[in-house]
Homo-oligomer: A and B are copies of this chain.
Amino acid sequence: MATLSDIGVAAAINILTAFAFFFAFAILRIQPVNDRVYFPKWYIKGLRSSPFGTGAFVGKLVNLDFRSYVRFLNWMPAALHMPEPELIDHAGLDSAVYLRIYLIGLKIFVPIAILAFTILVPVNWTNTTLERSNLTYSDLDKLSISNIPTRSHRFWTHLVMAYAFTFWTCYVLKKEYEIVAKMRLHFLASEKRRPDQFTVLVRNVPPDADESVSELVEHFFLVNHPNDYLTYQVVYNANQLSNLVNEKKKMKNWLDYYQIKYSRNKSRKPSLKTGFLGLLGTRVDAVDHYTSEIERLSRKISLERDDIVNNPKSIMPAAFVSFKTRWGAAVCAQTQQSRNPTMWLTEWAPEPRDVYWDNLAIPFVSLTLRRLVIAVAFFFLTFFFMVPIAFVQSLANIEGIEKALPFLKPIIEMKVIKSFIQGFLPGIALKIFLIFLPSILMLMSKFEGFISLSGLERRSAARYYIFQFINVFLGIIITGTAFQQLDNFIHQSATEFGPSEVIPKTIGVSIPMKATFFITYVMVDGWAGVAGEILRLKPLIIYHLKIFFLVKTEKDKDEAMDPGTLGFNTGEPQIQLYFLLGLVYAVVSPILLPFIIVFFALAFVVYRHQIINVYNQEYESAAAFWPDVHGRIIVAVIVSQLLLMGLLSTKEAAQSTPLLITLPVLTIWFHLFCKGRYEPAFVRYPLQEAMMKDTLERAREPNLNLKSFLQNAYIHPVFKGEDDSDSDEAPEEFEKEPDLVPTKRQSRRNTPLPSKHGSAASSQPEAQDYPLL
């Protein structure tokens, strides 16, 4: 039982940790040598080409202006400074909308916290249940619902509050959905011409004995969309080729490494062994070896490339079909083409950057089978992930190691090492698993056959959320893992509870008891985690390693940058966990709310800074993830209501049950309403909009040659750099063709513009201002 002062101490420690991170960041970020680590976004946008601080050589590495060390938090107002429309222009709609999730957190929980502290806390505090009981209790518990005696009429307050909180949450959600939908539509409407507006992805082109896939596609769309069909681009199976290209890139890195090594120490030519892991085999000259390897791969690549283009078997039964008008594409994407609904499947093409090429040719039957396999696998992953880990743990104890490797016994028996192993080993399997979990989930999504990166990330996020919900939230609340509980439920035939109520009741009882734990969790995982994010320790180290070993030119320096992305698949489920905690504890133990509010505020500032200065999104889905975000907050609301029902039933406040049952029903109805009203804006493209843009464009540019614009938009990335000796530069040139792929990266490198982001003025027409609060 933690007291208020315990919590205070923990909070102080965590606040100090956070400040330490911030201070470290403040020092590191103003060192010119780290400039590319902490401001990569500006380099990518071409608005910054060299660190500030000119002068001596030392001045290029270390910041000597000591005044800048004093204002070590001044990045915070700077991060909040950029207005939202400019942010959309600078970093894309996805990022801007992602930040709104944190804002929603504040919008929901600040009023709820105020209400809870003015009404609920006094109601809880002015009881003496805990004082009169024999239980040990803390001041914290006196603030929670535990302090109310059973069958008290004071539970009506909690009931009314539950209604108030639900209505407020729903109100904020609805407002936000409306704003985001409007932002998305405005974004789509004001966008420049992009190939994906005119293009539809066709999958499962049926096999035909007489015609090739290309002919088939051409004929089918000429017949069935005679007015609008323009051109098509078949999809090649270039996975093999892209493997080769990647291998060549790796070889090139090694070549660079050895060349630099040689140039630094001309006395000794670097050499290596060609066998297993460089340990066996004959010793050869490293530079020569990699040069010849690269040549060999180049030949192989050009052979493979010819083979793909000429061999009809490498053409997949899928194609990107482009239309003369946005209207035509919208029609084709939203309708069924052929009798057999599994043939000629059409959907909007993702933007070229967003395509996940490997999955483009999975047949329909295999898709449903894959979905089944993954559903089952995910079920086992979620509920039984502890089994293999427990198994590894049981192997990895000291006795086990001693038995398996008896010669290690004397070393292990040393006290320092023994205690280290005992403290470290049991956790390590779990830790490794949790670190790899997002990658595992991403692999699952890839196996399932999504064809866009955004789709992959959305699905992974959903799975990660479910995993966290079951194993972190429920797992902690019902002490011990959900897996053990399930086992109990199945085998214990005589519990003291009725049937369908057991789970809510059990959880209901233990919720208030876990408040202190979750407060600590929020501080460690939330506060310190967010503060650690801004430090970018891993990219910092890797960048400097690369600079030291690989970099020869300024261009190489730019390539050594790893701006990273927002990581929707890991970040969003984490936020959602805080929504869940906040909503569940709002009525039960309002003391948790301030901690969550601090998290949301801190995270908002930090991520806004990162989005402005660091992250470089790989794709732009125009906030397509919003329905997921909305849906998961609704789930959190409903879970909080169900748990409150369970809690109140243990407090024998049964008369409130019918009123509480009404709440989830209303919430579900609200969700359905929102789904009908706003979701279509995220999945469909209205014909009216398409027609409007088409008409406008026709009036403005009557002589536009759309075909040349669309011809090569959807070519597999490995084909873009035709001359593979410079395979990295070629796509760049490709994208520089006038208006071809007007991504944000258009004028990417070496543009001599000054740095300050004030000058990154919005080039977007009629940038609208949406209410921030």
Most chain B CB within 10 A, of A342, A344, A368, is at: A368
Given the contacts A499-B497, A499-B499, A368 and B676 also touching, CB distance less than 8 Å:
yes
B-facing residues in A340-384 (Cβ within 8 Å): 341-342, 344, 364-365, 368, 371-372, 376
Is A686 on the interface with B (CB-CB < 8 A)? yes
Is A223 on the interface with B (CB-CB < 8 A)? yes
Is A680 on the interface with B (CB-CB < 8 A)? yes
Is A175 on the interface with B (CB-CB < 8 A)? no
Q: Which residues of B contact A689 (CB under 8 A)?
A: 339
Q: Which residues of B contact A376 (CB under 8 A)?
A: 665
Q: Which residues of B contact A691 (CB under 8 A)?
A: 223-224
Minimum distance in angstroms from A683 CB to a CB of chain B: 9
Most chain B CB within 10 A, of A342, A365, A500, is at: A500
Is A227 on the interface with B (CB-CB < 8 A)? yes
What separation, in Å, do the CA atoms of A502 and B493 have in the docked complex?
10
Q: Which residues of B contact A676 (CB under 8 A)?
A: 341-342, 364, 368
Is A496 on the interface with B (CB-CB < 8 A)? yes
**Contact B338 A688, beta carbon cutoff 8 Å:** yes
Contact code string A486-503 (vs B, CB < 8 Å = 1, else 0) = 000111111111111111
Q: Which residues of B contact A223 (CB under 8 A)?
A: 688, 691
Contact code string A676-703 (vs B, CB < 8 Å = 1, else 0) = 1111110011111101000000000000
What separation, in Å, do the CA atoms of A364 and B227 have in the docked complex?
34
**Contact B338 A335, beta carbon cutoff 8 Å:** no
Q: Which residues of B contact A734 (CB under 8 A)?
A: none
Is A672 on the interface with B (CB-CB < 8 A)? yes
Is A156 on the interface with B (CB-CB < 8 A)? no
Is A330 on the interface with B (CB-CB < 8 A)? yes
Given the contacts A223-B691, A339-B185, A364-B676, A499 and B496 also touching, CB distance less than 8 Å:
no
Q: Which residues of B contact A493 (CB under 8 A)?
A: 496-498
**Contact B502 A336, beta carbon cutoff 8 Å:** no
What separation, in Å, do the CA atoms of A678 and B339 have in the docked complex?
10
Most chain B CB within 10 A, of A227, A342, A688, A691, is at: A688
Q: Which residues of B contact A225 (CB under 8 A)?
A: 687
Q: Which residues of B contact A344 (CB under 8 A)?
A: 688
What separation, in Å, do the CA atoms of A497 and B499 have in the docked complex?
7
Is A481 on the interface with B (CB-CB < 8 A)? no
Q: Which residues of B contact A669 (CB under 8 A)?
A: 368, 371-372
Given the contacts A503-B499, A669-B372, A224 and B489 also touching, CB distance less than 8 Å:
no
What separation, in Å, do the CA atoms of A336 and B223 have in the docked complex?
23
Q: Which residues of B contact A491 (CB under 8 A)?
A: 498
Given the contacts A335-B331, A669-B372, A341 and B684 also touching, CB distance less than 8 Å:
yes
**Contact B680 A341, beta carbon cutoff 8 Å:** yes
What separation, in Å, do the CA atoms of A578 and B637 have in the docked complex?
41
What separation, in Å, do the CA atoms of A534 and B67 have in the docked complex?
100
Q: For residue A657, which residue of chain B has the nearest CB?
A: B490
Is A770 on the interface with B (CB-CB < 8 A)? no
B-facing residues in A481-537 (Cβ within 8 Å): 489-503
Q: Which residues of B contact A496 (CB under 8 A)?
A: 493-494
Q: Which residues of B contact A492 (CB under 8 A)?
A: 498
Is A673 on the interface with B (CB-CB < 8 A)? yes
Is A334 on the interface with B (CB-CB < 8 A)? yes
Given the contacts A224-B691, A665-B376, A342 and B498 also touching, CB distance less than 8 Å:
no
Is A337 on the interface with B (CB-CB < 8 A)? yes
Q: Which residues of B contact A185 (CB under 8 A)?
A: 339
Q: Which residues of B contact A371 (CB under 8 A)?
A: 669, 672
B-facing residues in A105-123 (Cβ within 8 Å): none
A-B contact pairs, 10 of them (CB 8 A): A185-B339, A331-B335, A335-B686, A336-B680, A336-B684, A344-B688, A364-B676, A489-B500, A499-B503, A500-B502
